[in-house]
Structures are given as structure tokens and as C-alpha cells.
């Protein structure tokens, strides 16, 4: 079992590597303008930039130098299934919110998690253009810019409950009877979940087909802030499995998670 604590040398080195990756990403970012980075498209049509690949390479070199026994799972690296034999695996999204990054929108992030036996033990979601860095170590709480954070204290869902969800899902939740205040879209899923952790949102949803790298770091940050990221049936998420994709996920404070989950189940049962 890896020994890791807030403020120890290994923790500081993980954070330093992620901040360094943020500086590299910022060199390709132009607020309100298109990035100068070369843009290409993956199979399926999703965009990827030169910056995604450079940040991925930077993090892989720096993080594996710190923990060479760990496996590696990243959105921008071809999957090496030897990770399945590892107890420790870095799970990385070099730039979460690439479309926004490309067009000069600030809500993108670098997400790094260290997964140990299927669950994250360290997580950082670094949004350099927003000057926000969320970080957590298992059992030691969550922080935003070095200050402790906690989820909303809301004890039931009301019409002013701040919720972030894809538009089609928000419509179905309303049809199911849930009433809430739909917030503007946050392109980065990691930042959406982290906003729930900090109390800036009361709940957030991830539509089907998110991947480990989108959510692992933010999952731990939310957990350590007093919330849960769970499947529609309330189950916890396991990482570093054969299939890295996930179904509909709900992020909310522990005390209202069951209520939100019940609404999501009703919405999923509506005719399509």
C-alpha cells in the first residue's frame, strides 16, 4: 500500500508535475480566440490538439519517474493492458474540455488521479485558465487553492437547487418531477464534479460514456468533500477495469444523493 499524505514529498511532486503541465497547456491557450495548436480528429470525430499530446507526454514522463511501478491510463495514450496487472495506476486526462480549450473558453482542466486497487487515493483537477486547483488525498479532505472545501449543506432538492446536467438529461429530469435551477454548462466534466465538491453546485450529472480519465480525480475530491459520485443504482465506481467507460453518473452531497438518484431512475424510465 502506497504511503501518501497531504504535504509530503510525493504529494508535492505530483502537484508540481501537474502545475508544470498546466503551464505547458497555457502556452497553447488564447482566451477568447482559437488555439494556435495543431488540431486533428480521432476516430469518431472528437477533436484533439497538439497541446493534448504534449501535456500527456509531459505528465507521463514526470509522473512515472516519481512512481515507476505504476501503470498508465490516459485519454491520449494507446491503452496498455498491462495496467490491469498493476495495483497502482495513474489515470490522466491531459486536457478535459478540449473543445472549449480550442476556442478560448477558460473552463478546461488537467485531471490526474492515482488509482490504488480500483479506487483513487490521490486526485488533482487543475484549471490554470481559471486559476483553480482542486486536490485531495484519501482520508485527508479536499482543497481548492490550498483551502479546505465541502459540499453544499442542502438537505432536500428545491426549486433553487443548483444543478449542472446535459440539456437532454435536464429535460428528462424535469419530466420526472424533479424541480431545480439548471446552471450553465461546464464543458469539463472533471470541473463539473469539482464544483459540486466545493459547494458551487448542489448536484451534477455525467451522461453515458464518460471514461475513467474524465472522472477519477474529481471522484476522490468529491468524496473527500462530503459527496458521492455514483451510478444510477447508487453503486460506487471501480477504476482500471477492462472497460473504462461508464453509464449515467450522479454527483451530489451524501445527504441528498439518494433523492437525486431516485429522480434519475425515474427519468431513465421515461419513454425515449
Q: Per-residue pLDDT tens for 186-202?
A: 989 999 999 999 999 99
Residues in Cβ contact with 155 at an 8 Å cutoff, skipping those fewer than 6 apart:
255, 256
Q: How far apart are CA 65 and CA 73, in angstroms?
A: 15
**CATH 3.30.930.10 is right for the domain spanning 9-148:** no
pLDDT at 272 over 80: no
Q: Is the per-residue pLDDT at 267 higher than 80?
A: yes
Structure confidence by residue, pLDDT tens digits, 48-81: 999 999 999 999 999 999 999 999 999 999 999 9
Q: How far is CA 174 from CA 87, 177, 217, 255, in A?
A: 42, 5, 29, 21
For 69, counting Cβ atoms within 10 Å of its Cβ (0-12 exposed, 13-18 middle, 19+ buried), the class is exposed
The full set of domain ranges for the chain reads 9-148, 162-269
Percent of the chain with pLDDT over 90: 89
**Averaged over 214-235, what is the pLDDT?**
96
Distance between CA atoms of residues 183 and 161, nearest Å: 9
User: Is residue 227 pLDDT above 90, yes or no?
Assistant: yes
Average pLDDT for the chain:
95
Fold exhibited by the domain 162-269:
D-Maltodextrin-Binding Protein; domain 2 (3.40.190)
Cell triple for 213: 480519465
Is a pLDDT exceeding 80 seen at residue 5? yes
**Tens digit of each residue's pLDDT (9 = 90 or more) over 150-189:** 999 999 999 999 999 988 899 999 998 899 999 998 989 9
Give the per-residue pLDDT at 2.
Answer: 85
Amino acid at each position: 500500500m502506497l504511503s501518501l499524505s497531504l504535504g509530503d514529498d510525493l504529494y508535492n511532486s505530483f502537484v508540481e508535475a501537474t502545475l508544470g503541465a498546466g503551464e505547458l497547456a497555457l502556452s497553447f491557450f488564447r482566451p477568447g480566440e482559437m488555439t494556435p495548436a495543431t488540431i486533428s480528429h480521432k476516430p469518431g470525430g472528437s477533436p484533439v490538439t497538439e497541446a493534448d499530446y504534449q501535456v500527456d507526454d509531459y505528465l507521463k514522463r514526470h509522473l512515472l519517474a516519481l512512481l515507476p511501478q505504476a501503470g498508465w491510463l490516459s485519454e491520449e495514450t494507446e491503452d496498455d493492458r498491462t495496467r490491469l496487472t498493476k495495483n497502482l495506476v495513474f489515470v490522466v486526462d491531459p486536457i478535459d474540455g478540449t473543445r472549449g480549450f480550442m476556442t478560448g473558453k477558460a473552463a478546461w482542466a488537467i485531471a490526474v488521479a492515482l488509482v490504488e486497487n480500483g479506487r483513487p487515493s490521490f486526485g488533482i483537477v487543475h484549471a490554470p485558465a481559471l486559476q483553480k486547483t482542486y486536490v485531495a488525498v484519501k482520508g485527508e479532505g479536499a482543497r481548492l487553492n490550498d483551502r479546505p472545501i465541502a459540499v453544499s449543506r442542502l438537505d432536500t432538492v428545491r426549486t433553487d437547487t443548483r444543478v449542472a446536467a446535459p440539456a437532454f438529461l435536464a429535460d428528462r429530469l424535469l419530466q420526472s418531477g424533479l424541480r431545480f435551477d439548471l446552471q450553465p454548462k461546464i464543458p469539463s466534466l472533471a470541473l463539473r464534479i469539482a464544483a459540486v465538491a466545493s459547494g458551487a453546485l448542489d448536484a451534477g450529472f455525467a451522461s453515458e460514456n464518460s471514461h475513467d480519465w474524465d472522472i477519477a480525480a474529481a471522484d476522490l475530491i468529491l468524496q473527500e468533500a462530503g459527496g458521492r459520485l455514483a451510478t444510477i443504482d447508487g453503486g460506487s465506481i471501480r477504476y482500471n477495469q477492462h472497460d473504462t467507460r461508464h453509464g449515467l453518473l450522479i454527483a451530489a452531497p451524501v445527504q441528498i444523493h439518494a433523492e437525486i438518484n431516485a429522480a434519475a431512475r425515474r427519468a431513465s424510465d421515461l419513454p425515449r
